[in-house]
Amino acid sequence: MNKSIELFDLGEVDYKETWDTQERLFKEILDLKIKNRRENTNLETPNYFLYVAHPHVYTLGKSGDLSNLLLNEKQLADKGATFYKINRGGDITYHGPGQIVGYPILDLENFFTDIHKYLRLLEEAIIRTMAEYGLTATRSDGETGVWLDVGTPFARKICAMGVRASRWVTMHGFAFNVNANLGYFDNIIPCGIKDKGVTSLNVELGVETVDETEVKEKIAKHFATLFEATVLKGEALPVV
């Protein structure tokens, strides 16, 4: 089992371009697994973790409700935002500058074969990161992601999650509001949840800006611990 994960920080990249990159890496791992089974070989499968920021974009999961997008095409254009219906789980969410988006593309057979556990560990990496900033974040029963003040009238989500998996290979991941413009969430019913708000790390800390590089380092550290993995900075994404 390969417990090494290559980490790439792609900077700000268009959503569709990153989606295509994910699909390419996802297919690379799937093809290798299929080859191993057909040819009775034991070639090592790689694992990737992509950090990225997107220009303003709304994405709707395969089970989502389009009515949770509160803008028409002209309004989207006026706000400089795009929209994609995609192949992850979950409903609608927003991505934009000031948000740390993480896409782990892992062969879970290198770690464990349990999607529920996978999602819980993604949440835990964010929960532990927030604890380093003195904030107590939690889960909300029946609602994937990371929250603050669950069970109170002030419950608010700080990190959304949605994944796809096939043959235990994952893609998509989490979107952590760090210095996010929360006004863009007013244009959707986030994740289809009407009675809870959203927040961002800088808002919770009462500061103008949080160091995103520092946050990424903390997430990667906790991710490595939780997955019992070695996370190394990759030099160049493979070209297929």
CATH number of the domain where residue 150 is located: 3.30.930.10
207 lies in some domain: yes
Using the predicted structure, report yes or no on whether residue 188 has a pLDDT greater than 90: no
64 lies in some domain: yes
| pLDDT tens string 103-147 | 999 999 999 999 999 999 999 999 999 999 999 999 999 888 999
User: How many other C-beta atoms are found inside a 10 Å radius of the C-beta of residue 217?
Assistant: 12
pLDDT confidence of residue 193: 53
Tokens matching residue 135: 């904030």
90 is an annotated ligand-binding site residue: yes
Residue range(s) defining the domain that contains residue 55: 4-233
Closest CA to 85 of 114, 101, 65, 71: 65
16 lies in some domain: yes
160 is an annotated ligand-binding site residue: yes
Q: Which of 106, 146, 180, 191 is catalytic?
A: 191
Give Cα separations from 231 to 22, 81, 111, 137 (angstroms): 18, 33, 13, 24
Using the predicted structure, report yes or no on whether residue 153 has a pLDDT greater than 80: yes
94 is an annotated ligand-binding site residue: yes
174 is an annotated ligand-binding site residue: yes
Using the predicted structure, report yes or no on whether residue 215 has a pLDDT greater than 90: yes
215 lies in some domain: yes
pLDDT confidence of residue 194: 56
Residues 11/53, Cβ–Cβ less than 8 Å: yes
Task: Return the sign of the alpha-carbon dihedral for residues 190, 198, 200, 126.
Answer: negative
How much is the average pLDDT of 78-84? 90
Res. 186 pLDDT band, cuts 50 70 90: confident
95 is an annotated ligand-binding site residue: yes
Residues 176/54, Cβ–Cβ less than 8 Å: no
93 lies in some domain: yes
Q: Is 191 designated active site?
A: yes
pTM of the entire predicted model: 0.93
Res. 87 pLDDT band, cuts 50 70 90: confident
pLDDT confidence of residue 239: 67
165 lies in some domain: yes
Using the predicted structure, report yes or no on whether residue 199 has a pLDDT greater than 60: yes
92 is an annotated ligand-binding site residue: yes
**CA gap 139, 31 in Å, rounded:** 35
How much is the average pLDDT of 213-221? 98
**CA gap 194, 186 in Å, rounded:** 11
User: How many other C-beta atoms are found inside a 10 Å radius of the C-beta of residue 133?
Assistant: 15
How much is the average pLDDT of 16-37? 95
239 lies in some domain: no
117 lies in some domain: yes
**CA gap 138, 49 in Å, rounded:** 23
How much is the average pLDDT of 87-116? 93
Question: Counting runs of H as helices and runs of E as strands, what totals does the chain give?
Answer: 5, 12
Q: State how many domains the chain has.
A: 1
